[in-house]
Structure 1
Amino acid sequence: MDFFSDVGLLAIGSRLRLLSDRLYDVADATYRDHGVPLQARWFPVLRLLHDKGPLPVGEIAQAVGQTHSAISQLATKLVQRGMLEASADAADGRMRRLSLTPQAVTALREAKPLWHAIREELAARFRAAGIDAWAVLDEFSKILDGSLGDAVRERAKNGKAGGVRVVPFRPELRAHFHRLNADWLRRYFYLEEVDHRVLSNPEQEILAGGGAIFFAEAGGAVVGTCALLQAADGEYELTKMAVDPAAQGLGIGRVLIEAALAEFERRGGRKLFLETNTKLATAIRLYESVGFEHRKLPGAQSHYQRADVYMVWRGRMAT
């Protein structure tokens, strides 16, 4: 689930699809175990026709919240499977009315005890977790109302117009330096002693030693940070890079790196390196794209327990 955690709400549709598929798999396995010739994805249409009697495709689609095309395709499949039969509507010969076949009626009768078992087990698990499933889904449905698309487009337009601004360290931004980095580290690793020390006192640990700290602001919020730590005369480490997950996809990481590179060049630095971990594949690709090359770690070991990748910037001329 690391991918879904990384991208957050951007992947909520995919995450819900994954959960839906898992429920379908459970139901299908239950049907197979009991020799019931049904598939979970047929349930809404078959159960609706069982309860309401023959209906046209359009009414079925409206009732179960699917498109006319999707229901029409499923109906064709179920007719071929012998589960449905189609007949012309008495009031409008151009419209098909769908009804259950005797085979479907028998299968649904056999499935009822299985539905009861599935429903009761899910209910028990939701109660144990303290979740009112339908209340949550109702609230989620309200969020996904018809205005969502327009609101997203407006937010995207405003975000693009506002852009990202990089600013240097100010005392009032100290808490953001700790927040962004601590959240990032806890998401992927844990805070080591060196992290606690640097994040708790960046002025002493980074700035006093000749380093620099940058923050990215977008939409009035601080959404990213990184630092240049002076390791020796003319030698710097690109470190403490973190971007708020809610702001990923805006190119903030690249903007911060470019600001750090510009400051490194302004100072006439001789060497710029960074240390990271192989699990951070997206970050490594970003570093490579701006000119960082993989090198063998000099010395015995990294000062970070989590680091297993060492990279050195090759400079502008080779990019």
Structure 2
Amino acid sequence: MSFFEQTGKVAIGSRLRMLTDKVTEDAAQIYKLYDIDMQPKWFPVFYSLSKGEEKTITELAKEIGHSHPSVSKIISEMLKKGYVLEKKDKSDGRRNVVSLSKQGLIISDKVTNQLIDVNAAIEELSAQTQNKLWEAIGEWEFLLEQKTLLKRVEDKKKLRDSEQVEIVAYEPKYQEVFRALNVEWISAYFKMEESDYKALDHPQGYILDNGGHILVALYNGEPLGVCALIKMDDEEYDFELAKMAVSPKAQGKNIGFLLSSAIIELAKKLGASKIYLESNTILKPAINLYHKLGFEKVAGKPTPYTRCNIQMELVVS
């Protein structure tokens, strides 16, 4: 069994590099076959210039999808070979433009014949395959532009990690972690306030005995996230989503989303119609999460927190 049969698709990068190396090695020999002294990596730049237009390095980089430093290095190598000319742009003396030299134009004629034969060989190769590689590459490029492989793997990791998360109801044994997690994040960005101490030092009397609820997120049995649903004495809102905190070591495991989603579901079961929350726009991940959950910005309610600069609501029924 080959290495790639053992690893499967996870080694796609290595396999593509091997295919690229094999094609590039042949490409170097093909240039020799046509008596052309050129490195395969020069081809995109050379082909772009062969159309006859003078171009800046920036324009070349944008056209062929390479970085500016990469194109600059290729141009330097082609200048040493005498294949290109570089001069000041007549319309803008601050820019340099590049074009093929006389020697480069001679090479361009040779390359024309080479491309005819290479294209025919690739068409022949494609006709012998069941799967169309060229079309597949285009599809992959398009899909990865919409969502990178890194982001796709991050999403899969979050999904797998979330399967290890259990959301449970608050018990007195969680009071210390409820307080510690909230103090940790509040102190990292703001200052603890009187209302914080009331809720965190006395969650039973301040939250639970007044008709509220607290949920705890366990990751592999360890409490790493908390969130409260505080009963509001308000004609418009039933509950406030508050005191949500996730341990830094649990970031990226989707715990914030799972906790807040569970709190919202609990509010629905309790017959709530609207949930309210207060936050600060400096907490961008949290604000993005609330928007994702369907919360919308509101204004005008008095708040006991000096750190609050955004108020949001969610219609749940």
TM-score of the aligned structures, taking structure 2 as reference length: 0.48
TM-score (norm 1): 0.48
- Which has the larger Rg? 2
